[in-house]
Structure 1
Amino acid sequence: MSIPGEQAEVAALLRRLAGRDPIETHISAVYVGTDTVWKLKKAVALGFLDFSTPAAREHFLRREWEINHPAAPALYRDVVPVTRAADGTLALGGAGEAVDWVLRMAPVPAGNFLDAVAARGGLDGALLDAIADAAFALHAALPPVTGIDPVAALDRVLSGNVAAAHAAGLPAARVEALDAAARGWLERLAPHLAARAAAGHVRRCHGDLHLGNLCLLEGRVTPFDALEFDEDLATIDTGYDLAFLLMDLDHRVGRAAANRVLNRSIARSGDAGMVAALPLWLSIRAMIRAHVLARTQGPAAGLPYLDRAEAMLAPPPPRLVAVGGLQGTGKSRLARALAPSLGAAPGALVLRSDEIRKRRAGLAPEERLPPAAYTPEASRAVFEELAALAAAALRGGHAVIADAAFLRPEERAAIEAARGEAPFTGLWLEAPVEVLRARVAARRGDASDAGVAVLEAAAARDHGPLAWQRLDAAGDPLPGALAALGLNAGAPC
């Protein structure tokens, strides 16, 4: 990569200010100094963008600041001109004529970018939850955009993918077969995508939401570098925006990481309807990465992502698993362990009654509700929503794990009825009360508010006839659960 000759003087100035060579892409040069970062857009016209004039570069730098500053105010400082003085010298923000423009940003340690954190194995559960929360907050702050045809927009993306994949030298027959399969999915999903647009899920999103565009800044996961040069590519369904992050996690870190972010995101948003379109969205995102890598690094570099794009469009059929039992039996731990191995990528949707209850109250999962919030009426509404969300996800072709106590026969009957045509397995966890008492007393930072008194009262009740598979939860119930479901550990089914 190189900087266009017409920007050589500007590049030299920024090189002196930073004291080092820039980090380059095909469209930008980023100069990282001790306490400031300067971003220069290259004077290039590539068909899908045109930065060839100073006026265009100013416009898109200001647009970049405008889009990114709300989510990352500590990172995005300002846009300043590179000016030429009467003696011909260049300066930042001087009194002379503006010959170019730069975006000033705060520096971020290289190890704080989340692709780097992932590479060193640093994405633990708490950080994955924080990633999901950051994506949720980003999307929740965006207003819906009307007048967008999401089907036509994705059709254009598919056409662009085919052309780019052929130009990059990916196997032609596989590219054409993948395109045909994707268009079949798009046709089937058209009513669903249109309904989501009408419901307000299309927004001016990030557009390039992957691990490399998330960083740790002031202790928070912070999205940055949102796509600024193409409004159409960024005005999309929030689920399609999230799908890039899920695909990136699935590929770089593993399915369990992607599954955790998916489920945390839906626990916050309640948008379980997005899972119906995930196979298509994930495949498109993988295909984009495939042809980009094939173009920049050679066709072989894109093949792993082409493999992934194909696999996303051939998901296993949906199934419903319910995990019940008294407080402290480890229902949520088991559900989370099972989910990555169940159903379409990135694994089953886990619907947890405690998280639904918190969302209905406008709270994050770990925030506590007062005892007065646990009325019979509130509990009925939670279980009704759980069953409705499960039924909708199953109809959309996605596997579901329903995680709740299910202490009443009518609650178990309702979740079983949500199965529709999908296979159902009920798992019932049990352990001695003294074991459960110790676990409940030790819980911290969990979505469940149930204490020892709630456990004691629940244990004393008659739970009615129980036909679900009983598992000993005094130890690890995962092997028994896998056997009951016919799964091998880590193998999607």
Structure 2
Amino acid sequence: MLPCSCSNGTTSPSWRYPAAGFPRKCPRPLSRTLIGCTSRLPAARTVGERNRTMSPGESATAQSSLPEVVRAMLTPSFFPHKPPFVRLVQTHISYVILAPPLVYKIKKPVCFRFLDFSTRELRRHYCEEEIRLNRRLAPHVYRRVVALVRQGEEFRIVAAGEVQSADEYAVEMEFLPDDLRLDTLLLSQRVQEDFVTEVAGILANFHRRAASGPEIARYGAPDQLIATWEENFADTEAFRDELVSAHDDDRIREFVKAFLRDNEYIFRRRQSEGRVRDGHGDLHADHVYATHPPAIIDCIEFSARLRSCDLVSDVAFLAMDFEFYGRRDLHDRFLLAYNQIMQDHDFPRLLPFYKCYRAYVRGKVEGLKSRETDVPESERTSAAEVARRRFTLAYRYTWEPLRAIVAVAGLSGTGKSTLAALLTERTGFAWFRSDAIRKEIVGWDAKTRARSTYRAGIYASNLTSRTYREMCSRAVTSFERGRGAIVDATFLRREQRDELRALAEKVNAPLLFVWCTCPEETVRQRIEARVQNPEEVSDADWNIYLHQRAEQEIPGSDEPDVLCLDTSQPPLQSAMQVEDSLLPRAVPVPLLSPLAPKLPPPLP
């Protein structure tokens, strides 16, 4: 993270406002990760603007490689306002000088496929573009373009309009500490729901005012989307079976191909309706600040093509980030608040596709960073782990348009809950666990251990029947509301399985039972390990396992909806087998959703 100039380091309840001693409405500029445009970047540069911080005290050798004007700005005495410190953050395309309460961003003289800063005139032009475009969402952050002019042996800062020529140009901005940045707030669990609603309203009103027209609409054409995806797939070939499994990557490719084919008419209609607009282009949590009012910064200024997209694609980026940080509740609140204003009938249909895109590209960016030799090893390792999580999220979005019910069954200790948890992570289906529901019914905490003997206490037959009814009812309700469900219980008796079959049949829900088995020695080891785990929800011990083994009614050939699975294999391999069996059975989620209005009114 960039240095924080907050003098008191406060994390008080008034987190939505800047710390004392700093101007209000003053987010600092972030390094750009170029999500949404990285498919166009050269392979060596696709990681975007990776931060590299340098302070005035660093070695003379390191500073000697900098342009003279940048070296001059690394001393607090250079600035008329005498900042408490100065830091330089280098990215691939910028020098960012932090001099609280101001920040200066100088564009590097570089030329890539996605941008051209090669001449001083172009750099000035894009400084002006950065000010113009970012003032749409953060008018109090982006102050002006300044000229850096040599006077004798020194440089000084003047307004760009006061001189006819300059040695260099920079964007002058306000500075804000990291603790008001949305990703930081998400990590520290300090995001308020009202703030999310406010951001949604700001974005919706911004999108309604954003420029549109034939020149912009062409960026939403199906052939443009296909080309972008194909470039992304080519870029990630090197990551297959290292950062993303071939199984998941193949499924993502199949999903994208089918979605683009089946929805071509929707993409073309949205072009004509003005749903492709000049948006932000890089709308992730790192670029949102909890100032008053909220500020959204650092849009893509150097390419209209990379900035212009379907409005659902623009907003899907931030929605995806909410889920990445484990806040599905904020994801839902954000999207509902946004579409209450936008009234976009296609919203629920397009969201999984565009969230998949945003997560996949973000995974690629982190993957490329993990391969850069000039990145410290610890950062490369972290980037690789983040890439895996992003790719898994992209895979999960291929399941979002589908629903089914999966019953993970079998004796205690055969790995049911481990498999159910992994399936939940990979599909996004809701997880209903009998152990937790049973204790909820009797008013216990899920981790409270029961000392009852087999079929006694909270495991008495009447309470077990009630637990199964409640669990299966919740699963069916989840399915009816448009989300798949995973039920996690032993289902040792045929009667219990048939009761779930009857409920599923009433709502036309596809149902797959997964009967988990594994060698008894493995079961014993697992049970012994979890008995010692205070976080464990299950109460089963070895004696209970032996009772279950004696009483189980193993599914036979007359139960064709059962997949028998040996869970002694790696959990991920088991999950993939279940998913491959489930995919042909799953049915589409109905598009009649709270996210969609009854009729799709046109944009103004």
Range into which the TM-score falls when normalised by the shorter chain:
0.5 to 0.7
8 Å CA contact 1:201, 1:238 repeated in 2: yes
Match of 1:242 in 2: 315
Matching of residues 42-81 of structure 1 within 5 Å: 42-81=108-147
Matching of residues 139-178 of structure 1 within 5 Å: 139-146=207-214, 147-148=217-218, 149-166=220-237, 170-171=243-244, 173=246, 174-175=248-249, 177-178=251-252
Q: Give the gaps of 5 or more residues in structure 2.
A: 1-51, 54-61, 371-379, 405-423, 431-479, 484-505, 510-588, 590-604
Q: Does 1:41 align with 2:114?
A: no
Please report the TM-score for the alignment, with normalisation by the length of structure 2.
0.50
Query: 1:437-475 deviations in whole A, cap 9, x for unaligned?
Result: xxxxxxxxxxxxxxxxxxxxxxxxxxxxxxxxxxxxxxx
Q: Does 1:307 align with 2:392?
A: yes
8 Å CA contact 1:84, 1:96 repeated in 2: no
* Partner AA of 1:150 in structure 2: A
Alpha-carbon distance, 1:316 to partner: 5.1
8 Å CA contact 1:276, 1:398 repeated in 2: no
Structure with greater Cα Rg? 2
Query: 1:333-368 deviations in whole A, cap 9, x for unaligned?
Result: xxxxxxxx9xx9799xxxxxxxxxxxxxxxxxxxxx
Inter-partner Cα distance in structure 1 for 2:356 and 2:335: 16
Alpha-carbon distance, 1:246 to partner: 0.4
Check 1:193–1:316 CA distance in 2 against 1; reply closer, same or farther (3 A cut). closer
Q: Does 1:10 align with 2:69?
A: yes
* Partner AA of 1:152 in structure 2: D
Name the SS for the 2:71 alignment partner.
Answer: helix
* Partner AA of 2:67 in structure 1: A
Please report the TM-score for the alignment, with normalisation by the length of structure 1.
0.61
Q: 1:99 aligns with which of 147, 164, 167?
A: 167
* Partner AA of 1:166 in structure 2: E
Match of 2:263 in 1: 189
Alpha-carbon distance, 1:23 to partner: 2.9
Name the SS for the 2:295 alignment partner.
Answer: strand
Inter-partner Cα distance in structure 2 for 1:224 and 1:124: 20
8 Å CA contact 1:45, 1:51 repeated in 2: yes
Matching of residues 81-230 of structure 1 within 5 Å: 81-85=147-151, 87-93=152-158, 97-146=165-214, 147-148=217-218, 149-166=220-237, 170-171=243-244, 173=246, 174-175=248-249, 177-217=251-291, 219-230=292-303
Inter-partner Cα distance in structure 2 for 1:283 and 1:116: 23
8 Å CA contact 2:232, 2:361 repeated in 1: yes
Inter-partner Cα distance in structure 2 for 1:185 and 1:303: 23
Inter-partner Cα distance in structure 2 for 1:255 and 1:225: 25
Check 1:316–1:155 CA distance in 2 against 1; reply closer, same or farther (3 A cut). closer
Higher relative contact order (CA 8 A, sep 6+): 2
Alpha-carbon distance, 1:166 to partner: 3.1
Query: 1:68-121 deviations in whole A, cap 9, x for unaligned?
Result: 113211111111121223x24222228584121110011123212212221211
Alpha-carbon distance, 1:51 to partner: 2.3
Alpha-carbon distance, 1:279 to partner: 1.4
Aligned residues, how many?
A: 332
Alpha-carbon distance, 1:424 to partner: 9.8
Greater shift, 146-155 or 236-245, is seen at 146-155
Match of 2:94 in 1: 28
Alpha-carbon distance, 1:179 to partner: 2.7
Inter-partner Cα distance in structure 2 for 1:165 and 1:195: 31
Query: 1:359-396 deviations in whole A, cap 9, x for unaligned?
Result: xxxxxxxxxxxxxxxxxxxxxxxxxxxxxxxxxxxxxx
Q: Does 1:285 align with 2:353?
A: no
8 Å CA contact 1:113, 1:216 repeated in 2: yes
Inter-partner Cα distance in structure 1 for 2:238 and 2:142: 36
Check 1:346–1:37 CA distance in 2 against 1; reply closer, same or farther (3 A cut). farther
8 Å CA contact 2:352, 2:401 repeated in 1: no
Name the SS for the 2:302 alignment partner.
Answer: coil
8 Å CA contact 1:291, 1:302 repeated in 2: yes
8 Å CA contact 2:72, 2:154 repeated in 1: no
Match of 2:338 in 1: 265
Q: Percent of aligned positions with the same letter in both sequences?
A: 23
Check 1:34–1:196 CA distance in 2 against 1; reply closer, same or farther (3 A cut). same
